[in-house]
Amino acid sequence: MKIEVKDWHTVAKWKWLKSEDSCGICQMPFEMACPKCTIPGDDCPVALGKCSHAFHIHCIMKWLENGRTECPLCRQPFEFDNN
């Protein structure tokens, strides 16, 4: 009698983290500071864009300083959502 065992390796798929949970640039969770801020207590707020994608303020500022204007995730023009 042959028992068919499903190989879980083929069933398990890579799951993308929700963009709300981690920075789309450095991939660090928002509960941790960005790679530039290794000292605990550094002010590293989260910046929310109008496209609803969120990044560490330092990560998105560096991204925009490099002459880019689009959101790294959805390629729409990035605008800060100040509300």
Return residues touching Zn ion (CB under 5 A): 23, 25-26, 34, 36-37, 44, 51, 53, 56, 58-59, 71, 73-74
SS3 labels along 4-54: CCCCHHHHCCCCCCCCCCECCCCCCECCCCCCCCCCCCCCCCEEEECCCCE
Q: Which is nearer to Zn ion, 15 or 75 (CB)?
A: 75
| Min CB(62)–Zn ion separation in Å | 9
Question: 48, 54 in Cβ contact below 8 A?
Answer: yes
> How crowded is the C-beta side of 23, counted as CA atoms within 13 Å?
23
Q: Which is nearer to Zn ion, 7 or 65 (CB)?
A: 65
Q: Which is nearer to Zn ion, 4 or 43 (CB)?
A: 43
